[in-house]
Every structure is written in structure tokens, then in C-alpha cells.
A and B are shown apart, each in its own frame.
Chain A
Amino acid sequence: MKLRHPLTLDTYEVRTDGTVLVKTPDGVDGIFRDNGEWVRGALREADPHLLGFIAGPQIKRGPRAPDVPTGGGSALPPQLSRHSRSENGGNREMDLGLEGRKAIVTAGSRGIGLSIAELLADQGCDIAICARGEEALQAARANLEARGAKVCTASLDVSDGDALEAFVQTAGEELGGVDIFVSNASAGGGPGLPAWEHAFEIDVMGTVRGIGAATPFLKASDAGSVVVIGSTAALEFLGMPQAYNAMKAALISHASDMAQALAPKGIRVNVVSPGPIYFEGGNWEMIKQAMPAMYESALQQCAIGRMGTPEEVARAVVFLASPAASLITGANLVADGGFTKRTAF
């Protein structure tokens, strides 16, 4: 959106991050927030009314009035597209409504988490990711910034609950809100009793505390949404009993509870349960090398004849996370290429 002040002849143009570029007719410019606060540039003052008008919260939060009476404060589905394309013979694209949204993805520096962060960035979201390794984080940051996103990163272990909560808080402040929280971190599989406690801390408590810390921000959003990464390992027996399977089951159950609890606050909670997902450096690459029989057996169970890719999981996550899925909450969307055989009523 661009406006010219009819008296001063300054131009006001909203930038993708919601700030406004103001240029005088002499070419002096400055960048301002919608409350009139100066950010940078030689021009130090601009008309606060116009700044608020063109870049205020209405840009992202103001769906148009519906044609029918709404009954006062009833919640309306968030607006997806400002521009109908129906004049092109009804060829209407579905807009996910993610432009300008803010998302947090735990364990977002590699694998499925990174794919989710990439796809969200491609849809116009700003992203915060955390992971243990600083090196992978910085690579992911460069990758996401190249996609046009504002990026926050934090190096931490999700089992450190205080660090996780601080990350969510900082991310929300730095990004200026949180619309989407993706709880992706997992301890993975592994035998033995200590693995149970570790899996509990990361998979279960990481999700519980992460959602808790993100809730105030999600509540303030007009399209707050949580996606928890589950697993088909929670749905059908996968070779051996292990903490991973039970923790993922706990997450699916908890997400369903939270969907009910947070619905009155306008926050949706869903699960995406991937089946076997193959990527370099992933578990299934390791299994393929270490336990070829198990790999072959899993591959044969995939009805589509192959394992999934992280991007295929990310597409499911991004859809559920987006305002386009405004009616969907409490769902467990299985993305497994037909790996599981149960009838999912």
C-alpha cells in the first residue's frame, strides 16, 4: 500500500516487515513504525495518522466486514486473501494467509523442522528456530534469510525447560508476535530406561512447556495455531517397544486436549504424524545402513512405494498451521504414504 500526503507530498509506503518508508519530495527518507516511532534514515518525523492508517494492525488483522450481520463480537475466520482472482474465469488460488505471520519451529535447523521453517519462510512468515548445534543453526538462518524471512535463532537443548521458555518469549518479542508454534523437537528412538526420561523431557515436556510459553502470543494473534509433530509409531507397532512410540502417543493425546482447552482463545492445535521419512542424516538413512532388513520391511509397507520426504511433511504442517485451516483443530493428520494400515475413522 502506498499513499501520498496531499499537503506535504511525502510518500508513505508499507514495507514487508510492517514498517513504513516515508520519502519527501526532495528525496529525504526515513523508516518508521506505525506508532510514529523513528527507526532509521535521515527523515526523523512523519505524520503519525498516516503511519497508523497504512501500517497499523488493520493491515494484518482487519478482515473486511462480512456481508451478513455478524452478531457483534463473534469470531470470524481470519481473512485469507485480500484479492479475489475470480475475474480470471473462476480460477481462484487458495491463499494460505501466511504473509507476514510469525512462526516458531523447535529443532528447526535440519530435517523435517528445517523443511517446515523453509516452507513457512517461502509463504512470507518470519521464523524463530532453536536447535542444539550452533553451526547448523547459522546455516539454517542464512538459508531462511535468503528466503526473505526475519530470523531469530537460539542454541539450546529443549530438555532445558527454562531455556526453551526464554527462547519462545524472546522470539515472540523480537518477531513482534507469534501466530504459529510448531513443536518438532524429539529425542528420537533408543532402548533403555534413561532413554524414557530423556524422551519424556524433550518430546512431552518440550511440547507442554513450549505451548505454554507461546500461548500468550498465540492468543493475541487472530489466527493462533499449534502443530505438534507426532509419529505413526504411536499408532501401530513399529518393530520394538520404545519410549519414542509412547511419548508420541502422549503428544497426540495432549494435543487433542489442548485443542479443546485453547479453542476459546482462538488457538487451534493439530498433530501431523509422519510415517517413515527419508533424508540425508536422518534416522532412516541410519537404519538403512545399520538394519537393512528393517528398512526394506518398512519400505515395503509404504503403499505408495517409497518413503516420504521432509518437504511433504512440511506441506501438511504448513497447511494445518495456516489460517487456511481455520476450521481444523484437534486433528491428527497422518502423512505416511499408506504406511499404516488401520482404517482411520
Chain B
Amino acid sequence: MSAESNAPFAPLRAVPAGEGPRSSGLTYQQLLDTDTRTVPEVLRMESARELPVVRVPIDRYTSREFHDLEVEKVWKKTWQFACREDDIPEVGDHTLYEIADMSVLIVRGEDSLIRAFPNTCLHRGRALKDRPGRSPSLRCPFHSWEWNLDGSLKGLPCRWDFPHVKREEYGLPQYGTATWGGFVFINMDPNAEAFESFIGDLPTHFERWPLEDRYTEAHVAHLMRCNWKAAQEAFMEAYHVVSTHPQILAGIGDANSQYDVWDNFSRAITANMTPSPHLGHDPSEQEMLESIITTSLDSAPNFRVPDGMTARELFAQMARMQLQANAPSVTLLTDAELNDSFYYSLFPNMHPWGAYNKIVYRFRPNGNDPDTSIMEVIYLAPFRGKRPAPAPIHWLDYDEPWTEAPELGPLAKVFAQDTFNLPKVQRGLKSAQHTHVTFAHYQETKIRHFHTLMDQYLSR
């Protein structure tokens, strides 16, 4: 394949934001007008692109052939979040990133640079490392071929027996690496577009909420009985809230969420402490507070909304107090940033939440099985002083409830509601006589954006 064919994709065509039918509820921009602090540009932005996809074939979620295509056209081609920088803080630290049936070895070199290599010995192919760890070199356990941390061949036993092995030809092949926000990204394609061009303006969006200043407070990986795309799409819209989380309707602006897309990333903004347009009545400020507070705070206090104050103001004030110790700049943050959910998605599978909502999701296929996947929830928390060590991955089997991971706090119950549907989605897709799933024009914008990008990758 020529280098030219891997030039960046043509950018999606921008179209005016705010066109097309919308919920009759308050718009997010109208809600921002009530904020007690100055609203930053990033929240005022609205952005739309031409997204031709309104339906996709069901075999995208169920067939092994499509999975294989995804491996070749997407996973082997695109930038993807592999680990956090603080997973490998010291020289010689290494970790593994596994995608489909491929394993990538990510190593911190003596020059402190991060490099990524296929996790395989160039002699007879054994995986060089079985698990994360720290070692002065990369030595294969099978016959002790050894590489330096920068991937250059260090040596091998019985050198005399390999006259055909030239040191300069037997360096480990290197994958592209890049970092942003404390995340390490890799790309297996030597002709990939530059990371800076791929990620676009996403770093600008996070300037107020620097993710590099967070540590991994919790990391839970849950095996799921559904395709990885079906899993992640459950976390890319608020359309499901009315059915799946009815207990929070009093305090969530679900149908009137705002959806924006740019080139390789998208976002949704769902306001809290504002009533759902689905409700047939106007809940009190206290009802709004209570509907959200039990599922979003680690310790639900018996707060009453004082007269003359809104639930939004009160919740923002409480969050400022709670966060202040570790993130002093929160005093400047808007009520919006302390109440609302800003869920970004970076193609193909990374979902960092904005503001101080600690969530980052990642979804991956489970090996080569299109019917199962791995969903990860990572909490990135602010800290003061010495950076705490990142939490190790807590694996949950298919049928283990999210509540088996107490480090997730009260949100575990909400994840349980979200993922309750997913195995049933996969079963339904397998039973389908119809050929396509279809998406809401506005509320499922992010999913349409994802599949539009997917189509671009598949077309190459």
C-alpha cells in the first residue's frame, strides 16, 4: 500500500449546527444562560457535520467477516488509546495493550521515551512479555534473545549459529506512539496520519480539565456478551435514559441534550438538575436534587435546597467543596461543568468525559469474537502532592454484577442498568429478519458520526 493512500481522510463537511427538529425542552445553550459563573467558549460551541449514515447493516455487530475487516481496516490503521503514562512511569516499565488477537508491548526507554512494539520475538515468535512489569531489557523467555529498551537487538545465545541475523535488521519493529492528557496512544500503521492531525482540537476542549493531572483511581474491565460497538453505543446517547434510568428523570435533561461532532471526535452534553422533557409535571428543586444525588455522589448527604437557590446551584457548590482540596481551580468552574455530563468520544473506542466527571470508557472486541467484548471503566481523579499509583485492573466476568467493584461507587448501579440490555441486544440482533439497525437523527448523532468514520476506514 502506498504512503499516499494513507493520507488523512477528507474532513467531514461542516453543516450549520442547530438545524432539524429538536425536543421542545429548554436547549442546553438556554440553560447555560442561567449559570452563576462565566461560561467558557468550549461549552458555547456547537458543531455539526454532514453524516450520511442513518442505518447500518446488522452484520456489522454479528459477523466474524466484518470483525476481520475491522481488524485490517480499523485496528491496524487507526490511533488508539493503549495505556496511561503513569502505568509505565520508570525506565524499563512495560505494559501490554491487547486488541483483537494482537498484543502490543509498550515500553519506557532509558531516554524516558515511550515506544511500542509488536509483542513478539523475532526468532520464533513467542510473546516477549506476558504481563506488565519492569525489566532492564526485553528478553524472550524461550531462547533468551534480548533487545534493548529502544528496540535495538542486544544479543542472543550462540551468536555464531546465526550468521544470517544482522543486528541492524533485527531491531524490533516500532509502532507509532503519541501522548495526550496522560494517555498513551499507539498506531500500527507506519503510514498513519500524524496524531496531532488525527486528534484535532480535542486537547483544546480539555484545557480547563487537564486529564494529565489525574491519576487512575479505579479501573474495572467487564466482559460483555455483545459486540463492542453495541456496548459503546449504549454510552453515546441520552435517548435511552427515559427507558433505562427512569429513576433520574426528575433531574436530567435527556431528550434536550446537545450533540456535537467534529472530525474524529464527538460529544454529547446532558444537563443534570433540570427536568426531563418527558415528565408530565414540573418537579421541585428538591426532587431534582434527590433524583440525581443518590446515584452520582459517593456520599449522599441529606441536603435540602434552600429557598431562593436552585438544585443546580446547590449541587455545583457542593461539588466545588468536595473537589477543592485536590483541584483548587474548581472554584472558577461553571455550575454547568459541576453538574452536567460531557461525554466525548474519540474514534474508534475511547470515551473521556469532560469537566470533573471522572469517567473514561474504552470498548474493545474480546479477541476475535464478534459476540463478546470488553468494556472498561476508568476513573481519573485529581490529586494533590505525590501522584498516587494507578489502580490495577479489576476484571469482572460476564455475569458478575458491577457492584462487585465497590471502587465504582454508586454509579455501579447505573452501569448495571446500562449493560442489562446489552446481551439482549446481541441476542436480538442474531434473531433479526430485518437487515439494518437505524439511528435517531439528532439524539444518536454520535453513533451516526462513528459509523460515518467507520465507513471511511472501510472504504480504503
Contact = CB atoms under 8 A, between A and B. Distances in A.
Interface of A: 3, 5-7, 47-50, 52-54, 56-58, 61-67, 69-73, 76
Contact of A57 (B243, B276, B388, B401): B401
Contacts of A6: 246-247, 249-250, 276, 278-279
B193 interface: no
Contacts of B243: 49
A49 B418 CA distance: 9
A43 to B, nearest CB: 17
Nearest to B383: A69
B120 interface: no
Interface of B: 215, 217-220, 242-247, 249-250, 276, 278-280, 298-299, 381, 388-389, 391-395, 401-410, 412-413, 416-417, 420
Contacts of B393: 72
List the 7 closest pairs (A to B, CB-CB), nearest first. A65-B409, A73-B394, A62-B403, A58-B403, A72-B392, A72-B391, A6-B249
A49 B409 contact: no
Nearest to A78: B406
B391 A48 contact: no
B91 to A, nearest CB: 24
A62 B395 CA distance: 16
25 contacts: A5-B246, A6-B247, A6-B278, A7-B242, A47-B246, A49-B245, A49-B246, A50-B247, A52-B417, A52-B420, A53-B413, A56-B401, A57-B401, A58-B403, A58-B413, A61-B401, A62-B406, A64-B409, A69-B215, A70-B391, A70-B407, A72-B394, A73-B392, A73-B405, A76-B406
Contacts of A64: 298-299, 406, 409-410
B417 A67 contact: no
Contacts of A66: 406-407
A62 B412 contact: yes
A69 B407 CA distance: 8
Contact of A62 (B244, B279, B391, B413): B413
Contacts of B420: 48-49, 52
B407 A53 contact: no
Given A49-B417, A61-B401, 7 more contacts: A7-B242, A53-B247, A65-B410, A69-B218, A69-B391, A70-B406, A72-B394
Contacts, number: 95
B406 A65 contact: yes
B407 A61 contact: no
A69 B388 contact: yes
A344 B420 CA distance: 53
Contacts of B381: 69
Nearest to B406: A63
Contacts of A76: 406
Contacts of B413: 53, 56, 58, 62
Given A52-B420, A71-B391, A72-B392, A65 B407 contact: yes
Contact of B219 (A50, A62, A65, A72): A72
A67 B217 contact: no
Contacts of B298: 64-65, 67
Given A3-B247, A73-B405, A56 B416 contact: yes
A73 B397 CA distance: 13
B391 A53 contact: no
Contacts of B401: 56-58, 61
B100 to A, nearest CB: 25
Nearest to B414: A53
A58 B416 contact: yes
Contacts of A3: 247
A63 B392 CA distance: 19
Contacts of A69: 215, 217-218, 381, 388, 391, 407
Contacts of B247: 3, 6, 50, 53-54
Most buried by A among B215, B220, B405: B405
A39 B200 CA distance: 54
B403 A7 contact: no
Nearest to B219: A72
Contacts of A50: 246-247
B392 A71 contact: yes
Contacts of A5: 246
A73 B246 CA distance: 30
Contacts of B388: 69
A175 to B, nearest CB: 19
Contacts of A52: 416-417, 420
B299 A58 contact: no
B238 to A, nearest CB: 15
B417 A72 contact: no
B404 A70 contact: no
Nearest to A71: B391
A53 B249 CA distance: 14
Contacts of B412: 58, 62
Interface centre among A3, A66, A71 (most CB of B within 10 A): A71
A236 B345 CA distance: 70
Nearest to B295: A53
A303 B402 CA distance: 52
A64 B217 CA distance: 15
A53 B409 CA distance: 14
Contacts of B215: 69
Contacts of B394: 72-73
